[in-house]
């Protein structure tokens, strides 16, 4: 009963206030509720508040909203849309994390104001902040705003807590970040220079040592020398640049990120310095080089070489026109993207340097030891060119350029030598091509005979074709080791040696020299004693011999398929005439080796391909019941030696675990007997190699 009476009482009261028909008659005026009528959250540490209930008790409630509205809480009209109202709200928020929303309207910032990092500023469409001249609004936290303009006035807005949208300042352009490595952006704040500072110098000074990524979007003229600190990443987007004025210079100790376009405008060599680790590589395009085949780029490339500071200079795909010598003054790496073919019109798959003046293309200066050239082409477009392509070292008597590496370099059409090693020891030339040059393809020629300084070079897998001089010319160098060198169609010799202790292994020579009795594929001149040459050589039809040997102590073996006795012209003393005469060029077969019973029942021998009397390798498979000191006898395939030859024989492994005490041999003019000193394991393999000369 009490339940129903209570319900009836409530309905009667509702009828009195709402004017329900049949209730007491009363008129009320409807009013409006404003934001100030609400108990909005003001950003203080607690959102809770207490009030009395109708029953006389107390209830705890939360203030309205999760965002701080400065105008609703601390203002009374749009006249309060200013920095004072925002500052009052910030004073309440203090260190609490909060979102502050600015109501639509024109907020006047007449004093310097900082929004701390613990406050996210939400600026809806229709809200603008007009900053007075000489005043700065600094937003250290994040900004929640769309792609529309929010900052007006002649003052400064600095958003330091997050990347900015340029349209916030009214800039509609889009920037090209191609070539920029985003993974390097590990800085606490990102600043667009033009939005926050008047000049690059001013930005660097103001930011100081604060970790910052500073983005340059337009031309910035220096007002003084500038040093980018180690705590700053300087990002220059396409369209941005640093412009030289007076004698001002740039030093970059932090990192620089930029693509293949102009970054340093008007700077000369030595004006830009990179600290250790500031860049992964240096681009010639940063100084204005263009790989389009027509823009003069030698000066820009030289600036890059001088600024690299023992680092890497990276060439782009295309053709760089160079009208002067590129001098490498310090150890560095000059690297392209691959060898391009000058004969293929419009080809841009590689990096190419085109000589446009009669000057040496690249000079690796003395004292630049350890320099590396990789993956590009150098060719001449100069009529009547008389100069070389690449020269390592100079003619001074003190320093050389040692330990240099030339790898995958193509040199073509020079008026002189393609690649000249002039002064420096222990370098490497690997996978290079040097062709159609006015002198030798590759030449090792020391100009300082008083202190021989072109020693211990290694040449691997190179090709020298169609040169006016020799293909490979080792005129004044010693202890050169050449592996797999191809030379063909040169007007001089394919291989020319005139110094001692040089070795060529696996060379190929064909169609070199004049097609008459004066032409040879290989020549070892009088001073080329004690050299070792293993070459596949073809003589021309009218040539009397493949090689001309004028020095003593030379081991020359021709492994061509032209016959077992390739002809060699000997004008000097020659002690290794068994090999020189070409004997031992008939391939050996398994039956040329006879095994003794000590190798066991069922034993067999297998000869390695390209084995001859003079050099061979065999694999013996032992049988069962092996015995002590088994022998293997080689009966020479070719005619008998005049005298018993000299021989070197060696155990060369296999699956056998019983290592012999020694491998001995007894030799005669027609055969040699090799003894395995020890007892080999049953059903295993034993490898033996032999080298014979006499």
d(CA 550, CA 530): 11
Confirm if 207 and 189 have CB atoms less than 8 A apart: no
Distance CA 674, CA 148 (A): 92
CA distance 320 to 531: 41
Mapping DSSP onto H, E and C, the string for 347-405 reads CCCCEEEEECCCCCCEEECCCCCCCEEEEEEEEECCCCCCCCCEEECCCCCCCCCCCCE
DSSP string, 107-119: EEE-S-EEE-TTE
- Alpha-carbon distance of 54 to 251, in angstroms, equals 75
Dump pLDDT digits (tens) for 454-468. 888 999 999 999 999
Measured CA to CA, the distance from residue 611 to residue 592 in angstroms comes to 11
- Spatial CA neighbour of 367 closest among 334, 397, 332, 402: 402
pLDDT over 90 percentage in the chain: 44
Q: Which band of pLDDT confidence, cut at 50, 70 and 90, is reported for residue 334? A: very high
Which residue, 194, 100, 80, is CA-closest to 140?
Answer: 100
Cβ atoms of 134 and 109 closer than 8 Å = no
Pull the structure tokens for residue 331: 């150890």
Residue 7's pLDDT is 44
Residues 6+ apart with CB under 8 A from 297: 284, 288, 289, 290, 291, 320, 321, 322
Residue 624 counted as domain residue: yes
In angstroms, the CA 318 to CA 376 distance is 10
- The two tokens of residue 570 are 């000997």
pLDDT of residue 533: 85
Please check whether residue 154 lies inside any domain of the structure.
yes
Distance CA 322, CA 406 (A): 20
Q: Which two tokens stand for residue 377?
A: 């082409």
pTM above 0.75, yes or no: no
Query: Is the pLDDT at 325 greater than 80, yes or no?
Result: yes
pLDDT of residue 694: 66
> CB count, 10 Å around CB of 17?
11
Q: Does the residue 607 lie in any domain?
A: yes
What is the tens place of the pLDDT at every residue in 89-114? 888 888 888 888 888 889 999 999 99
Nearest to residue 204, comparing CAs of 185, 223, 182? 223
Question: Which residue from 550, 578, 548, 552 is spatially nearest to 565, judged by alpha carbons?
Answer: 578
Among residues 169, 197, 218, the one where a domain terminates is 169
- Rounded distance between C-alpha atoms, residue 611 and residue 159, angstroms: 78
Q: Does the pLDDT at position 374 exceed 90?
A: yes
Instruction: Say whether pLDDT at 692 is over 50.
Output: yes
Task: Note the pLDDT of residue 80.
Answer: 87
Tokens of 558: 């021709």
Cβ neighbour number for residue 365 with a 10 Å cutoff = 18
Q: Identify which has the larger pLDDT, 344 or 480.
A: 480
Least confidently predicted of 115-124, 293-302, 372-381, 561-570:
561-570
DSSP single-letter state for residue 103: P
What mean pLDDT do residues 272-290 have? 93
Strand order in the sheet with 646-651: 604-607, 615-621, 685-693, 646-651
- For position 178, what pLDDT does the model report? 40
Give pLDDT, residue 254.
92
- Is residue 463 in some structural domain? no
Report the domain count for the chain.
2
Which position has the higher pLDDT, 670 or 19?
670
Average pLDDT for 148-153: 89
Residue 289, pLDDT > 60, answer: yes
Which CATH number covers residue 624?
2.60.220
The residue among 132, 152, 169 that closes a domain is 169
| Alpha-carbon gap, residue 361 to 417, rounded angstroms | 11
At 115-146, the pLDDT tens digits run: 998 888 989 888 999 999 999 999 988 888 88
Q: Between residues 506 and 130, which one has the greater pLDDT?
A: 130
Name which of 92, 135, 149, 150 is nearest 116 in CA terms: 92
DSSP string over 630-658: -EEEEEPSSSPPSSPPEEEEEE---S--S
**pLDDT at residue 645 tops 70:** yes
Structural domain contains residue 54: no
Parallel, antiparallel or unpaired: strands 333-335 and 362-364:
unpaired
**Is the confidence at residue 260, as pLDDT, over 80?**
yes
**376: nearest Cα among 426, 335, 428:** 335
Name the 3-class secondary structure at 286.
Answer: helix
16 pLDDT more than 80: no
Q: Are 392 and 421 in contact (CB under 8 A)?
A: yes
| Domain containing residue 165 | 70-169
Report how far Cα 526 is from the mean position of its chain's Cα atoms.
45
Q: What is the pLDDT of residues 59-100, one digit of tens each?
A: 565 555 568 888 888 877 888 899 999 998 888 888 888 888
Tell me the pLDDT tens digit for each residue of 25-40.
Answer: 555 555 554 555 555 5
Residue 81 resides in a domain: yes
- Identify whether 658 is part of a domain: yes
- Residues paired with 124 in a beta bridge: none
Q: Which of the listed residues 118, 142, 169 is the one where a domain comes to its end?
A: 169
Which element (helix H / strand E) includes 93?
A: helix 83-93
Kindly provide the b/e burial profile for residues 475-492, where b requires at least 16 CB atoms within 10 angstroms of the residue's own CB.
bbbbbbebbebbbbbbeb
Three-state DSSP class for 545? Answer: coil
- Over residues 537-550, the mean pLDDT reads 79
Considering the chain, what is the average pLDDT of its residues?
82
With contact defined as beta carbons under 8 Å apart, do 436 and 464 qualify? Answer: no
Has residue 128 been placed in a domain?
yes
pLDDT at residue 42, rounded to an integer: 57
Nearest to 421 by CA among 379, 346, 474: 474
């Amino acid at each position: 009963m009490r339940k129903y009476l209570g319900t009836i009482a409530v309905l009667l009261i509702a009828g009195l206030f709402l004017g329900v028909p049949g209730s007491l008659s009363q008129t009320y005026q409807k009013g409006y509720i404003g934001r100030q009528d609400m108990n909005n959250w003001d950003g203080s540490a607690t959102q809770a508040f207490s009030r009395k209930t109708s029953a006389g008790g107390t209830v705890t409630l939360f203030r309205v909203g999760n965002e701080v509205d400065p105008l609703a809480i601390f203002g009374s009209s749009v006249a309060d849309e200013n920095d004072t109202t925002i500052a009052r709200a910030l004073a309440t928020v203090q260190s609490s994390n909060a979102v502050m929303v600015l109501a639509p309207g024109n907020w006047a910032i007449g004093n310097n104001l900082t929004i701390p990092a613990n406050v996210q500023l939400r600026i809806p469409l229709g809200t603008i902040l007009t900053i007075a001249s000489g005043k700065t609004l600094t937003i250290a936290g994040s900004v929640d705003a769309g792609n529309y303009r929010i900052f007006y006035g002649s003052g400064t807005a600095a958003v330091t807590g997050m990347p900015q949208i340029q349209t916030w300042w009214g800039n509609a352009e889009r920037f090209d970040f191609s070539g920029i490595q985003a993974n390097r952006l590990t800085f606490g704040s990102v600043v667009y220079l033009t939005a926050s500072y008047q000049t690059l110098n001013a930005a660097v000074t103001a930011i100081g040592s604060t970790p910052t990524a500073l983005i340059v979007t337009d031309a910035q003229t220096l007002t003084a020398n500038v040093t980018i600190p180690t705590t700053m990443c300087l990002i220059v987007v396409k369209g941005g640049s640093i412009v030289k004025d007076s004698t001002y210079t740039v030093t970059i100790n932090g990192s620089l990120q930029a693509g293949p376009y102009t970054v340093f405008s008007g700077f000369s060599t030595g004006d830009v310095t990179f600290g250790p680790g500031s860049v992964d590589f240096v681009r010639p395009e940063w100084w204005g080089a263009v790989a389009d085949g027509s823009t003069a780029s030698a000066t820009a490339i030289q600036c890059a070489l001088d600024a690299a500071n023992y680092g890497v200079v990276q060439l782009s795909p295309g053709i760089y026109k160079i009208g002067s010598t590129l001098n490498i003054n310090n150890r560095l790496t000059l690297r392209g993207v691959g060898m391009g073919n000058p004969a293929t019109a419009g080809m841009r798959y590689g990096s190419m340097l085109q000589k446009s003046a009669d000057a040496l293309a690249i000079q690796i200066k003395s004292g630049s030891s350890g320099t590396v050239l990789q993956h590009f082409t150098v060719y001449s477009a100069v009529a009547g060119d008389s100069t070389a392509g690449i020269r390592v070292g100079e003619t001074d008597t003190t320093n050389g350029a040692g330990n240099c590496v030339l790898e995958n370099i193509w040199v073509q059409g020079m008026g002189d030598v393609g690649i000249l090693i002039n002064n420096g020891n222990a370098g490497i030339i690997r996978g290079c091509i040097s062709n159609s040059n006015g002198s030798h393809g590759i030449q090792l020629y020391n100009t300082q005979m008083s202190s021989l300084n072109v020693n211990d070079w290694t040449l691997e897998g190179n090709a020298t074709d169609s040169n006016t001089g020799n293909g490979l010319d080792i005129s004044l160098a010693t202890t050169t080791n050449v592996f797999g060198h191809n030379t063909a169609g040169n007007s001089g010799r394919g291989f020319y040696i005139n110094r001692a202790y040089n070795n060529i292994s696996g060379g190929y020579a064909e169609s070199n020299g004049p097609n008459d009795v004066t032409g040879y594929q290989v020549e070892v001149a009088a001073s080329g004693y004690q050299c070792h040459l293993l070459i596949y050589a073809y003589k021309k039809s009218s040539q009397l011999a493949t090689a001309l040997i004028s020095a003593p102590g030379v081991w020359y073996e021709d492994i061509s398929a032209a016959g077992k006795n390739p002809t060699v012209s000997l004008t000097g003393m020659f002690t290794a005439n068994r090999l020189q005469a070409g004997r031992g060029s008939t391939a050996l077969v398994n039956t040329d080796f006879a095994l003794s019973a000590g190798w066991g029942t069922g034993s067999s021998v297998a000869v390695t391909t390209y084995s001859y009397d003079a050099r061979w390798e065999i694999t013996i498979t032992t049988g069962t019941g092996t015995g002590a000191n088994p022998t293997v006898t080689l009966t020479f395939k070719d005619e008998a030696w005049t005298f018993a030859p000299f021989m070197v024989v060696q155990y060369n492994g296999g699956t056998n675990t019983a290592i012999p005490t020694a491998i001995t041999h007894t030799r005669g003019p027609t055969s040699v007997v090799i003894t395995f000193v020890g007892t080999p394991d049953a059903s295993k393999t034993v490898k033996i190699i032999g080298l014979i000369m006499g």
